[in-house]
A and B are shown apart, each in its own frame.
Chain A
């Protein structure tokens, strides 16, 4: 499999059919978002509020070749063709180093703005892409739930949809609550066939009594399209509106090429600087399902990730609003320790979570899983990923983690966020 797309998780999770989604997700545009920034004083307040950016790496990132245990003999023995020589890794300490492609993140490490949480996972790991991703996004290892942890926070705080925003084409389960959902924000101006006016489309976007839910949602899409057009025009008219990058009309015919993550993060930065009231942003990069010839493909992805995160972090560090942003990077699972015959790796378990930003206390957190004490060839998780989620809920969103993680779980705070 080449690229596991997000759709797979959305579909399978059942979240997309949820009632909350039907009730009114995805009604906001970038223009709309900028619009909600409102008055100057409100914008100023929003610029001072802590914000969270969640970066999802779809497909199962190879954690061992991201944060490399270069001092371990077992690492070289298990994957001779995939392992990186000790001289090449970007050292974090005398045992672990970053993949050579992660030069920018290595600089952030030097500036103590990068925290690495080691061995994050959950008990009884599931190696299905979508179920494992569902578990991470719902923060519920025990069984499927129909809401994501950000979605439950939206429910609990009775937040407006713009409080959590995804710059992806579809809403991730992460942002879906039982009663509320975040917004999917699309960008770019309105283009209609000649002769078709926004008014006609606005009319087409009205719901009808007694029509099926799907048909009503088909109508909503048109209403939203027109809404976006109007709001973007409003935002462009406002002098404070940042430049909106329009996506190219023709799609890339090859995999890779344009850096999707960079484009998404650029928009996050624009919104943060404009002082919009969004507290949580969700962005993603796919393609990490590297079963064969992993090294080249993985390096390509890590380079994209590094470039996107580094330029984002650099830009954010220059403004007060940007310095309030904490970015977390995770994947649904790592890969198997041992390489397979195709110089790739099969679905594994625990992996590192990266946290970066001006509020972050750089360093290593938790314990690197043993490479010799394995669970049937897989790493044993040393950090419950819910501790990461709990810490983000408590420190960034100032919310009670136990309330939103549920299942009787009591998160242990990880001290990777150093508040002033």
Chain B
């Protein structure tokens, strides 16, 4: 029971503090699930890190910028990107409604869009706000299909009646709504045609519809022929049986096990409450298969870092500039920088985070984080308490016994296999 609760809190959020874990143990599993998935109190913690306001893009209003203006703009955009990334890490750390924050992080990885191509942090932030304001998957899918960052990322703005671009239509079906192999190449082409006509107003950070660019002809998608457009396509895909099942599978993959497939009964329970994603999570957390999935997930680098901040009572928003830069570089070396997923498929999972290169990067970042904690006498048991580890394995205990330096103890604790794998 106690182990179940630790597992639940680790998976639902970014890492419970010792106090949160103690409170949950008092409340019990069912009440904790309810509190996590339907928080009633306002999120006081999150109010410490309000969504930043970036102001206009540096090239906004310039129809033909000079080389110097472009260079300056690119530098400014880079600064703005660092700012929103640091902000998000801070927000993930201070928010009380951990389950919500983690779910938004999940959706970012699902509709994976990278600032590396989008370039404008304003568009990334617009997408981020949109994900936050979408109460269920259906609303989200409708908003995403015309989201300026996603449309730009998948070349949707240059998808026209005369020469369609398939990129957005393909990934809509393959990665966002149905899963691979649930459609034909003809469906991809037809979906591309349905999505024609959307263009981007960069200065306004919005998309708009140009009827003249839209293909008005009949399209046959998954056996249904009609004059599909972006929204009727999304509606149509939402009604496919595969859509709800696919989203349930993705949630399982990220919250329960990156290696074992979702049991059918678990999936059915989640599908029944689609498209409300928080309800789907609740069904997942209540499922026996979830409780039995301990040890099947590796923390993503962002989870690991934010968890460390929470456990040690630190705030990403209060780090020195030098340390902030080190953190962003460290997360990049570990393979996960928010707002910059490696591809439209989002981030990898499981053992892929456990490379030798990542082991070295993690040790060094752990070492720097530990230095931020004021030195005080610590035992291995104290470190376990702070990091909410139930018991150390013999191996890690032996490694911890090799030092008495508190910062070295924390470094080893943060890098330990039992801290990395939930």
Contacts and interface: CB of A to CB of B under 8 A. Distances in A.
Please classify the interface of chain B as helix (H, G, I), strand (E, B), loop, or mixed, using the class held by over half of its residues: helix
A196 interface: yes
A162 interface: no
B402 A191 contact: no
B162 interface: yes
A214 B78 contact: no
Interface residues of B, number: 75
A169 B185 CA distance: 32
Nearest to A131: B180
B412 A200 contact: yes
Contact of A10 (B352, B367, B421): B352
B329 A341 contact: no
B412 A346 contact: no
Contact of A214 (B153, B171, B174, B296): B296
B364 A342 contact: no
Given A203-B402, A204-B416, A291-B167, A10 B348 contact: yes
Contact of A17 (B78, B350, B370): B350
B323 interface: no
A212 B343 contact: no
Contacts, number: 215
A226 B166 CA distance: 47
B345 interface: yes
B333 A251 contact: yes
Contacts of A339: 163
Contacts of B319: none
Contact of B188 (A127, A220, A340): A127
Contact of B116 (A213, A214, A255): A255
B218 interface: no
Given A17-B259, A340-B165, A224 B356 contact: yes
B31 interface: no
Contacts of A376: 185
Interface string B68-80: 0000000000100
Interface stretch (A1-9, A311-319, A411-419): A1-9
B344 interface: yes
B408 interface: yes
Contacts of A338: 163
B134 interface: no
Contact of A196 (B159, B411, B417, B418): B411
A197 interface: yes
Interface string A374-391: 001000000000000000
Contacts of B163: 338-341
B352 A341 contact: no
A192 B364 contact: yes
A40 interface: no
A295 to B, nearest CB: 14
Contact of B356 (A26, A194, A251): A26
Nearest to B397: A203
B417 A211 contact: yes
A17 B261 CA distance: 12
Contact of A193 (B170, B367, B395, B402): B367
7 contacts: A10-B352, A190-B360, A201-B399, A206-B395, A251-B329, A292-B158, A338-B163
7 smallest CB-CB distances across A and B, nearest first, come from: A193-B367, A212-B295, A342-B158, A341-B163, A218-B417, A2-B117, A221-B359
Given A17-B258, A224-B356, A346-B167, 20 more contacts: A1-B344, A2-B114, A4-B343, A16-B352, A17-B351, A128-B180, A130-B180, A192-B367, A193-B364, A196-B412, A203-B398, A203-B402, A208-B393, A215-B421, A217-B351, A221-B354, A221-B355, A292-B167, A341-B159, A346-B165
Interface of A: 1-5, 7-8, 10-12, 16-17, 21-22, 26, 29, 127-128, 130-131, 169-170, 184, 186, 190-197, 199-201, 203-204, 206-208, 211-222, 224-225, 228, 250-251, 253-255, 291-292, 338-342, 344, 346-347, 376
